[in-house]
Amino acid sequence: MKKNIVLILIASCLYFSAEATSRLVPGNYSSVQDALNVSKAGDTVLVDDGVFTGNIIWPNYNGIVLKSLHGKEASFLDGNAAGSVITINGTPNTVATIDGFTIQNGFVRATSSNGYVAGGAAVNAVNTVLIVKNCNITENRLTGDIEHFSYCTGAGINADASKLNISNCNFSENTVDSTYNVFGGVIYASNSQSSLSGLTFQENGITAFASIQGGILAQSTGKANIKNSSFTQNRVTVTDAGSVSGGTCYFSDLGSGSFTNVLIGDNTISSAFTVQGGSIWSSFSLSLIHCTLAGNHFTTGTGIGGNAISLNNNIAGTPKLKVTNSIMWSPEGSPFEMAFVGSPSVTYSDVYGGFSGAGNFALDPLFVSSSDFHLQNSSPCLNTSSAAANPPLDLEGNNRPMPVGTKADLGALETNQPLKTMDVVTDAGLMSGMDVYPNPVHASANIEFELADANDVVIDIIDLSGRNVKHILASNLEAGVYSISFNAEQLAPGAYFIKTQIGDKTLDQKITVD
């Protein structure tokens, strides 16, 4: 019996492959819609370079692929401000693939004909396994009805009862202007499963009169997995006496989600009332691994509940949160990065305001700038991650850790650090350099330096709170080369600084103790 089933499946696949057709636009068809109208299950519509204007209605066949010949910088699907660029009304498990386009200029206004709900200006999908990859989704727009309270959902992608697989796409300059509420300014998924990878959300502008649930992304019920993605320089604004729940992301009802190698930074969130969860609002159970939620800007009328995350218990059960190897640092908001019910597990993370847990600390992460979230060479977040839960690549595809043999850095972005770090002091000519090796330190290590002139030298080990945990040296030394050993066996694993004072000059050298 099993053999017969296998033979039937093989025969079905051969038949499906034989029947599938590639249709070229504009070579064989004058428009994308014309090619789709005659497509059947398994067909591929190939689109050449150019701007193709229209509002595409997807045929109700399984497995159709719409693919550009030369990628998103060459092929444009333009909605001509006349509706959604692509509309898909599928049946459960209808698979639709869109690959390699710039999808632009979709426009949907909430009116009585659509129930005063505007959604999916770029792609509007129902009952679909929607695969979107290698696309720019830009300059799509939703707006409310000026005489009625209306809702807006997903200027980029609006999906209901669907499975989303979106990868390697850029969402930029999409806008929403709602006369009432917004649910997911750029992507909204209800009763869905979402897998989002390699996405950038930048310079999208979301405005609502009453409230916003998820400035960029919102999902109700299901599973959401977000990895290797960034949310930066987006603007989320409530103009009347309403609130923002989830400056970028909002997860409601029952579900679970994960964030891996995700950056949420330098976004502007403004509300006349409150902001609950500057980055994330959730009643899902969530995990965050190697994430950076930092440098976001807040303007509120009555305050903030959690600069980074607000966990809410508005359904049966208590949402759970697990954070590790991450940075949460937005001093412009409240004194705390989290507002929560339950007991979040936070470990090996740099948290503004502090949070108890193994390996946690509260020190300025020393980003390169307010909009560049790479770490400076003196950052306390370098080489301080736990050994567990380290994805092999960072947000930008760099190896983690760098170099091999060190510990990974906190946050989404890895900074390459030499195995032996050389800090050179040149202004006073006091020493030519200082090495600490091995670093990470196991049982013991050596400090090597050269004095240009005789001087008083004091060396101590300082923990991340600034407490002196080990005295190594206090002596007047002659000019010359020195190698000083110290024992680290009584130091708890973690990050420290070797503080070296030479005369009136001080040098801090970061080390990690295993």
CATH code, domain carrying 449: 2.60.40.1930
Residue with tokens 């010949």: 69
Whether 79 is covered by a domain: the verdict is yes
Q: Which domain holds residue 274?
A: 49-351
How far, in Å, CA of 254 to CA of 385, rounded? 31
Residues 322, 435: one domain?
Answer: no
> What sections of 143-275 are H helices per DSSP?
none
List, in sequence order, every residue forming a beta bridge with 94; answer none if it has no partner. 128
Residues 446, 306: one domain?
Answer: no
Rg for the chain (alpha carbons), in Å? 27
Whether 3 is covered by a domain: the verdict is no
How far, in Å, CA of 470 to CA of 144, rounded? 64
Which helix (H) or strand (E) segment holds residue 19: the answer is helix 2-19
Whether 306 is covered by a domain: the verdict is yes
114-148 residue pLDDT tens = 999 999 999 999 999 999 999 999 999 999 998 89
DSSP assignment letter at 216: S
Residues 445, 305: one domain?
Answer: no
pLDDT of 19 reads: 66
Residues 427, 343: one domain?
Answer: no
Give the pLDDT of the chain (514 residues) as one tens digit per residue: 434 433 333 333 433 444 689 999 999 999 999 999 999 999 999 999 999 999 999 999 999 999 999 999 999 999 999 999 999 999 877 999 999 999 999 999 999 999 999 999 999 999 999 999 999 999 999 999 988 999 999 999 999 999 999 999 999 999 999 999 999 999 999 999 999 999 999 999 999 999 999 999 999 999 999 999 999 999 999 998 789 999 999 999 888 999 999 999 999 999 999 999 999 999 999 999 999 999 999 999 899 999 999 998 655 567 789 999 999 999 999 999 999 887 899 999 999 999 999 999 999 999 999 999 999 888 999 989 997 779 999 999 999 998 777 789 999 999 986 543 334 343 434 444 577 878 788 888 888 888 888 888 899 998 877 788 999 999 998 888 888 999 998 898 888 888 888 887 777 777 888 8
Burial of 168 per CB tally in 10 Å (0-12, 13-18, 19+) = middle
Question: Final residue of a domain: which of 326, 351, 376?
Answer: 351
What backbone torsions phi and psi does residue 18 show, to the nearest 5 degrees?
Answer: -65, -35
Whether 292 is covered by a domain: the verdict is yes
Contact 23, 37 (CB under 8 A): no
Domain count, the chain: 2
Contact 161, 130 (CB under 8 A): no
How far, in Å, CA of 35 to CA of 319, rounded? 47
Whether 71 is covered by a domain: the verdict is yes
> Degrees (nearest 5) of the Cα angle 275, 279, 280?
90
List, in sequence order, every residue forming a beta bridge with 444; answer none if it has no partner. 487
Whether 171 is covered by a domain: the verdict is yes
Contact 301, 272 (CB under 8 A): yes
Residues 177, 326: one domain?
Answer: yes
Structure tokens of 358?
Answer: 């193994």
Whether 403 is covered by a domain: the verdict is no
pLDDT of 266 reads: 98
> What is the b/e burial string over 370-390, where b = at least 16 CB atoms within 10 angstroms of the residue's CB?
eeebbbeeebbbbbbbbeebb
Question: Final residue of a domain: which of 333, 351, 369?
Answer: 351
Q: Which amino acid is at 497?
A: F
Residues 214, 111: one domain?
Answer: yes
How far, in Å, CA of 222 to CA of 492, rounded? 41
Q: How many residues in total does the chain contain?
A: 514
Question: Final residue of a domain: which of 336, 351, 366?
Answer: 351
What backbone torsions phi and psi does residue 4 show, to the nearest 5 degrees?
Answer: -65, -40
Residues 435, 318: one domain?
Answer: no
pLDDT of 199 reads: 98
Whether 394 is covered by a domain: the verdict is no
Residues 131, 239: one domain?
Answer: yes
326-365 residue pLDDT tens = 999 999 999 999 998 878 999 999 999 999 999 999 999 9
pLDDT of 212 reads: 97
Q: Is 453 helix (H, G, I), strand (E, B) or coil?
A: coil
Residues 94, 217: one domain?
Answer: yes
Contact 179, 212 (CB under 8 A): no
What backbone torsions phi and psi does residue 283 show, to the nearest 5 degrees?
Answer: -110, 5
Q: The pTM is what?
A: 0.81
List, in sequence order, every residue forming a beta bridge with 441; answer none if it has no partner. 513
Q: How many CA atoms lie within 13 A of 287 on its CB side?
A: 10
- Selection from 55, 33, 62 nearest residue 45 by Cα: 33
Structure tokens of 188?
Answer: 């909204």
Residues 344, 452: one domain?
Answer: no
Residues 338, 452: one domain?
Answer: no
How far, in Å, CA of 190 to CA of 160, rounded? 5
CA dihedral 500, 503, 506, 511 (to 10 degrees): -10
